[in-house]
Structure 1
């Protein structure tokens, strides 16, 4: 089976596109609205017929991109995503778009409607976005587990190939570490005191710790799945008509060990991105053992929609799956810790990425010490 990268040219020709750039550092208010209107008229002439006015509503809580609802009288709502400054250092857009095409063919998630120089338009799904309280609610948590299992089982339709594909977690950690080390001079000067904090982390040790992590996690024997890799509550929608849960935003998606994706979701229980301290992690909110077991039982009880004999149907106890996720937890902390430092150096989004990063790197060292 081919890699998603092999399918890009084949899968995406019907998606309208252009090279227009929307610079949010320069474009504001009515000027931004006019720019987006012109872009819509260029990409979607049929939709834009008799369209001379739109309204943009920015969605709060997005940490990588700026996200807007595009509203117009007597027109369906669109979702506009403008990529964050410097995000190309973090995200492989070609890989993301190829996977979006595959997901669309499986009727999973919103449709990709159009692409421009630094962003895209997506189908808007009439829905409400979950909150940090919702993901703790027992039935909702079990619903998220079922959604995650459905995504993971896509690996039975598009299997991982060791010859053509890579694991996102190690590719990202290795890449983001190199980027961070190149950005250290910028980070040292970015804000008073950052240099002293960063020196305490002794980031030069990370390559040795990363290699040790790889050795430790080989023993976890976690199967390779199609992983979302960012199941925070803002990426889970409840559809208005059916109350069905839908996971969206596949920027970080790709092949990864099952244990990583589950642990990564558990980490999102510790954040409230709409609070007074949105970047602060509250480890006291990490799901208890009983809450983890409830989630994992729902995950294992979900029947595959894609293949009756997939790799995920291999017998595993819920206790084994809990340990698997516990072992991979350290890599979630490490990857987002590095991500946070890159964002801290350049993002224009109002979010304390430096605090976010240092807390995740601290948590990585705590978890790493349990297994080394």
Structure 2
């Protein structure tokens, strides 16, 4: 399915999508009498899928805001089957809905789906640094991790990274493979798995992609909704915190969305505040400072696994995704951070290859 242009109407939509939208409208008690009334609005910031807001009048003569129906149209990106199983993701989506989390699934078609439109503000990069909003995110993330979800409660991180590495080697050019040292990464993954996997680590249902665009806030109630569960799975909670901290270096709504700024990575005080609020949320007050320090340290070490995961993701996406984003440059930055931080986080005995 081609990318839909900004401001286009029903003529941009494939017949299959029109049919699903008419069915969704009927289920919601509306009737799309004239496909010319459909409005298609591209939403920025998505890097795996193409996402659009679809509007239609709830009655033939409706013009007021309250009489306009809004839904979200998600068109699956090219090659996403290399990153996750779409059937598993749909099951997660439906299970989250049953838990009262996230939007409802309204309709499906071969290359995407229609979701409930959440009437809330999508967070910005700056919002992640707001102490009040950050505290809300910490508490919401704890709630997310405690969800009882489908599937075995086992860590999927290391298998996923190894699968990503296999695909990256298959797809990428010899030049890119050499430049990004792919032949060294199998050993790196094994070292990390050995170093970071401990008997005491807590495993929970993790989002694994908690960037600002996947968090929405109702500004009247200050309640948060976490959306987009493509990468969600059981994993060490420290990995999910690490992912969120790494995302604070990104702003996907600039002229150069692929560029990361690690000079604004949260400092130790900011990370400690987040971890403390996380542990003290959900009615589980914890005054154990050792527990705070342990999770803080584990999360920082798990940034290494995070850099490998998203670095390999970027390499693969460069070859399979047609979204306008410099995936390869993004990948290079993540690998650069991996090698830069590895010796610092895992000890001076580890050397950085030239």
TM-score bracket, normalised by the shorter chain, equals 0.7 to 0.9
Written as runs of structure 1 = structure 2, the 5 A alignment for 1:156-195 is 157-158=148-149, 161=152, 166-185=154-173, 195=175
Task: Tell me the matched-pair count.
Answer: 331
The 5-angstrom pairing of residues 138-149 of structure 1 reads: 138-149=131-142
Q: Aligned pair in 2 of structure 1 residues 69, 267: CA closer, same or farther (>3 Å)?
A: same
Gaps of 5+ in 1: 1-22, 189-194
Aligned partner of 2:31 in structure 1 is 49
Offset, 1:69: 0.5
Whether the 8 Å CA contact 1:220–1:327 is kept in 2: the answer is no
Dislocated runs of 4+, deviation >6 Å: 312-315
Query: TM-score normalized by structure 2?
Result: 0.87
- Cα-to-partner distance string for 1:130-161 (whole Å, 9 max, x where unaligned): 1111110101111100110000111xx34874
Q: Equivalent residue of 2:13, what SS?
A: helix
Q: Aligned pair in 2 of structure 1 residues 218, 50: CA closer, same or farther (>3 Å)?
A: closer
Residues 316, 226 of structure 1: CA spacing in aligned structure 2 closer, same or farther, 3 A cutoff? Answer: farther
1:115 and 2:99 correspond: no
Tell me by how many angstroms 1:315 deviates.
9.1
Give the TM-score of the pair, scaled to structure 1. 0.83
Q: Is the 8 A contact 1:79 1:124 kept in 2?
A: yes
Name the SS for the 1:24 alignment partner: coil
- Cα distance in 2 for partners of 1:104, 1:145 equals 21
Deviation at 1:104, TM superposition (A): 1.3
Between the aligned partners of 2:255 and 2:4, the Cα distance in structure 1 is 27
1:300 paired residue number: 279
Give 1:1-372 correspondences, 5 Å limit: 23-24=1-2, 29-30=8-9, 31-33=11-13, 35=15, 36-42=17-23, 44-47=25-28, 49-52=31-34, 53-74=37-58, 75-154=68-147, 157-158=148-149, 161=152, 166-185=154-173, 195=175, 198-219=177-198, 221-303=200-282, 317-369=291-343, 370-371=345-346, 372=350
* Bigger RCO (CA 8 Å, 6+ sep): 1
Deviations 1:78-99 (A, max 9, x none): 0111010111111211211111
Deviation, 1:66, is 0.3
What's the C-alpha RMSD, in Å, of the aligned pairs? 2.5
Give the 3 Å change call, closer, same or farther, for CA 253–315 of structure 1 in structure 2: farther
Tell me the SS of whatever aligns to 2:108. Answer: strand
Counterpart in the other structure of 2:63: none
1:25: how far off? 5.4
